[in-house]
Amino acid sequence: MRFLYCIYQVLVAFPITIVATILTALVTGIGCTLGNGHFWGYYPGHCWAWVITHAFLLPVKVEGRENLEKGHSYVFVANHQGAFDIFLVYGFLCRNFKWMMKYQLKKIPFVGYACKKSHQIFVDKRGPSKVKQTYIDARKTLSSGMSVVVFPEGARSFTGHMGIFKKGAFMLADELQLPVVPLTINGSFNVMPRTRDWHFAKWHPLSLTIHQPIYPVDKGPANIQAVMHQSYDSVMSALQPEYQGFVENPDQ
């Protein structure tokens, strides 16, 4: 079956991924240029992720959508298991949002172009002025009623386990007094861990657990730490048993 799945990827999944990526980048770029960036900056990417996940024949289970209120802004924080995290969240969270992502992703052909045109938030730590601009962009997005999705570990796991959470996303939520929603991703590490980038995917079910929003009860360092620890515990609680527990990530 493994061999047949690899053949299927060569003949079907990879061509669909390439064509869908190019078309999505063009549609996103043209749509955002013409106007309504919130629409064109999300829905083409949402469809792109949904199509690619199904092209690889990966079953998806989502739990907890009922925890989200319509029209509410959230700061979503998720563990970062592998490359398919992007497809799972983008395709199945079903909320209009902007990504907070590493600035290096601008260099990915077509994807980087679409992200720039749709005003995704690039995290650039190459100097104080660039860090400040990242926070300005994020505040502007959240203040306009949008949500953001952040991987607070800042890097994909090497083992499937969680590393530490960095506090940037929680500082933003605290400043604007917005609820933080933890997301637990399972299965992405099994499909394609970072140690096997650009290799064949392995078939494995994916799941996304949307936890209860964590609303601010105060403002300042104590609130930031409390929400960050509560978010970490929530994400950890829904991980598959084999990936429970902290494992240090040398890339953090």
Across the range 28-49, mean pLDDT stands at 91
- pTM assigned to the model: 0.91
Residue 247 pLDDT > 90? no
Name the least confident of 9-13, 121-125, 160-164: 121-125
Q: What is the mean pLDDT of residues 65-74?
A: 92
- pLDDT band for 128, please (50, 70, 90 cuts): low
Average pLDDT, the chain: 91
Dump pLDDT digits (tens) for 150-172: 999 988 999 999 999 999 899 98
Cα 206 to Cα 44: distance, rounded to the nearest angstrom: 21
Given pLDDT bands bounded at 50, 70 and 90, which one contains residue 69?
Answer: very high
Q: At residue 135, does pLDDT exceed 70? A: yes
Higher-pLDDT residue of 139 and 51 is 51
Lowest mean pLDDT among 42-46, 134-138, 211-215: 134-138
Q: What is the pLDDT of residue 184?
A: 98
Name the DSSP class of 10.
I
- Does position 192 have pLDDT exceeding 90, yes or no? yes
Which residues in 151-177 are b (16+ Cβ under 10 Å) and which e?
bbbbebbbbbbbbebbebbbbbbbbee
pLDDT tens, 208-241? 999 999 999 889 999 999 999 999 999 999 999 9
What is the rounded average pLDDT of the residues 6-26? 96
Q: Between 210 and 140, name the one with better pLDDT.
A: 210
User: Is the per-residue pLDDT at 131 higher than 70?
Assistant: no
Mean pLDDT confidence for 132-158: 85
pLDDT reading at 4 higher than 90: yes
- Residue 140 — pLDDT band, cuts 50, 70, 90? confident
Provide the percentage of residues in the chain whose pLDDT is more than 90: 67
